[in-house]
């Protein structure tokens, strides 16, 4: 477990360092994800090493958003008079983005024959 955790943190650290150094508009952990993915592709040993611990962290990914979510409660008054309008925008825009994103995925998958058969 300690090796897996070390590897995950090392990927994050490398990601943070690289985005800052290059001024890329990607968060360090996202680049760290790409890095870990590349390492797992390159070495099955790394993959088997990191999987149990990584899946343990991911099992309760929802939990990790709770502290930031609690911060929102304190800022609800920031929405002010515009609160209702902002909420309406968020609901409509999220529904549209979900529907169009998934719809285009299915349509292009059908057109290109990129079926999911296993």
Q: Is 42 in the site for another protein (CB under 8 A)?
A: no
Pick the binder of another protein from 22, 41, 42, 45 (CB under 8 A): 41
Q: Is 65 in the site for another protein (CB under 8 A)?
A: yes
For residues 66-95, which are near another protein according to CB under 8 A? 66-76, 78-79, 82, 85-95
Pick the binder of another protein from 11, 17, 18, 49 (CB under 8 A): 11
- Residue the block writes with tokens 């899946």: 55
Q: Which is nearer to another protein, 17 or 82 (CB)?
A: 82
Whether the CB-CB separation of 7 and 46 falls below 8 Å is answered with: yes
What's the token pair of residue 59? 């099992």
Residues near 8 by beta carbon (within 8 Å), at least 6 away in sequence:
32, 36, 50, 53, 54, 57
**Rg, Å, the chain Cα set:** 20
Q: Is 58 in the site for another protein (CB under 8 A)?
A: yes
């Amino acid at each position: 477990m300690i090796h897996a955790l070390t590897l995950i943190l090392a990927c994050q650290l490398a990601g943070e360092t690289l985005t800052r150094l290059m001024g890329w508009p990607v968060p360090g952990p996202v680049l760290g994800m790409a890095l870990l993915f590349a390492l797992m592709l390159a070495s099955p040993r790394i993959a088997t090493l990191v999987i149990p611990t990584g899946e343990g962290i991911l099992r309760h990914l929802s939990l990790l958003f709770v502290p930031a979510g609690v911060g929102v409660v304190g800022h609800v008054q920031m929405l002010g008079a515009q609160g209702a309008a902002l909420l309406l925008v968020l609901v409509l825009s999220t529904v549209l983005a979900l529907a169009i994103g998934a719809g285009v995925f299915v349509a292009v998958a059908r057109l290109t024959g990129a079926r999911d058969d296993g």
